[in-house]
Amino acid sequence: MLFQHDNLRGVEFNNIKAAMLVVIAMSLITTNDAIIKHITEVFTIGQIMFLRGAAICIIFALVMRLRKQPVFNRQTLHRWNLLRAVFELCATLFFLTGLSLLPIAVASTLGFSSPIFLAILATLVLKEKVGIDRWIVILVGFGGVIMITNPFSDSASWAVILPIICAFFVALRDIAIRYVPDDIPSSQVAFTNAWMVMLGGGLYSLYQGWGTAELHWYLWFPVVGAVLYSSYLLLVIGSRLGELSFIGPFKYISILIAMVYGYLIWGDQPTWSMIGGALVIIISGIILLSTEKRRNRLQNSAS
């Protein structure tokens, strides 16, 4: 996610508690997505990125000041930290645009195809060895993406490509974190993402134009900022309490919650192909996580 996971050795894991925190965090993130989709009725994507980013930056700055931590650290200008933030900016732009045009469940599910791109990029960029079994899982995962996008249908929308591009940038973001120096704190990595998205959204809003809205619409942004900050914090705590390979699959609860929101708020009826595609992506992601755990265990035993 937005935080760099610290390397904690000798820590006793509490997977059950960690999984509960991850479920709560993903519920909050999906709630944020529902709010964002709602306010796209009156705000442009650039406005939303700027105002949401400003709210998150204010919260981060206040919390860091209360903890007597520097709000800005020159270390954060490291090229890999900035590049990671640019990837986050691109992912946010494509996801929010797709979210405004697609049913929330479709956008959310396709966004979870990032483990597939991550596995491919790990091979191309990090030169990790990928066996034939893993390539089969990747291809099956792409099959799930095809089932959801249903490109051969008469009702197919070009907008389905947007959350898929988002997933690609999420994978690039996760690759980039491996090159961010360990001495840059997690909070500073997250704060860099926040102000980068805010500035990018501000520039994009100049191109899109700045719409007008009544005051009560603007009150959503402090709510969104608090929801996102809380979800990121819970994800960090959960990632430190539990094994990543165990808690990873619990993130897919977001897909189910998105389907519920889509049905209750917008009356979106999930199709069988969408449900089947979601299951394929979930199963593929879980298998990729389990093979990653087994590969890491073999590497640790060899060293």
Q: What tens digit of pLDDT does each residue of 39-79 get?
A: 999 999 999 999 999 999 999 889 888 988 887 778 888 99
Q: What tens digit of pLDDT does each residue of 106-144 get?
A: 999 999 888 888 888 878 887 777 677 878 888 888 898
- Its pTM stands at 0.84
Q: What tens digit of pLDDT does each residue of 224-243 get?
A: 999 988 888 888 788 768 77
Q: How many CA atoms lie within 13 A of 135 on its CB side?
A: 6
For helices 104-111 and 272-302, angle between their N-to-C axes, nearest 10 degrees: 20
Compute the distance between CA of residue 7 and CA of residue 207 in angstroms, rounded to an integer: 42
Compute the distance between CA of residue 138 and CA of residue 148 in angstroms, rounded to an integer: 16
Average pLDDT of the segment spanning 79-84? 94
DSSP labels, 226-256? HHHHHHHHHHHHHHHHS-HHHHGGGGGHHHH
Q: How confident is the model at residue 302, as a pLDDT?
A: 56
Structure tokens at 275: 């449900």
Compute the distance between CA of residue 117 and CA of residue 142 in angstroms, rounded to an integer: 10
Q: How confident is the model at residue 238, as a pLDDT?
A: 83
Domain ranges of the chain: 15-302
Question: Is pLDDT at 210 greater than 90 in this prediction?
Answer: no
Closest C-alpha among 263, 267, 188, 243 to residue 17: 243
